[in-house]
Amino acid sequence: MDVLDEYSGHTDPGGAAIRRSLAPLTISKVSVGPMDNNAYLLTCTATNEALLIDAANEPERIADLVGAEDGRPELRHLVTTHRHHDHWQALGAVAGMFQTRQIAHPLDAPELPIPMDELVSHGDRVEFGEISLEVIHLRGHTPGSIALLYRGPDRPHLFTGDSLFPGGPGKTWSAEDFASLMDDLESRVFGELPDDTWVYPGHGDDTTLGAERPSLKEWRERGW
């Protein structure tokens, strides 16, 4: 698989992956499957230990992203952001290939295709190598949807699953779920993090909190 080192936030289904290099961490993004799902490979530069966010589809392409050469990252952790089928189609296969530790929120874990090794809730941390990710529980898209926050040396980096996209929150199926997701986004994300926070969603292009913040009132009023 081609991996481009000019990180734009945009990937094409079936196309090249893109990689962002920070001092302690590299972030590689690839689009997999028919729904343009994003899978993110995070690698600690000090230890070469890696974590994958959402083994969504196409396990062979995910394995290609990890690589086969000497010195490839050691993929040890798989985090599933939520229970919807399009985000775990490759979970069993990738877990089998790399003998990883599986991680999810307890409210969504029972509907995932293989058992989880670790259950995480709001405020917990997921650690790999010398990297620590903060777990943010965002209730509404599913009961156990989580985001993962890396406080980088340049800015915060937030992996939101299907809870936040460019242009609005993720889909909900009732007024109560929508209000819950908006409440959590406003208090736990926009209320806590700065405008330069980079947002890596579960589908499509990246965004920043600053680009989305002016629309919060509009989202609340439109109800989706």
Q: What is the pLDDT of residue 111?
A: 97
Q: Which of 19, 22, 21 is nearest to 9 (CA)?
A: 19
pLDDT tens digits, 31-46 = 999 999 999 999 999 9
Q: Which of 221, 162, 161, 169 is nearest to 190 (CA)?
A: 169
Residue 101 burial by Cβ neighbours in a 10 Å radius (0-12, 13-18, 19+): middle
Confidence of residue 168 (pLDDT cuts 50, 70, 90): very high
**Whether the predicted pLDDT of 68 surpasses 90:** no
**Whether the predicted pLDDT of 128 surpasses 90:** yes
The predicted model gives 38-66 an average pLDDT of 98
Q: State whether the Cα torsion 193-199-202-203 is positive or negative.
A: positive
**pLDDT more than 90, % of the chain:** 98
pLDDT tens digits, 199-216 = 999 999 999 999 999 999
Q: What is the pLDDT of residue 69?
A: 86
Q: Which residues lie across from 26 on neighbouring strands?
A: 21, 43
Residue 71 burial by Cβ neighbours in a 10 Å radius (0-12, 13-18, 19+): exposed
**Whether the predicted pLDDT of 70 surpasses 90:** no
Contacts of 167 (CB under 8 A, 6+ apart): 212, 215
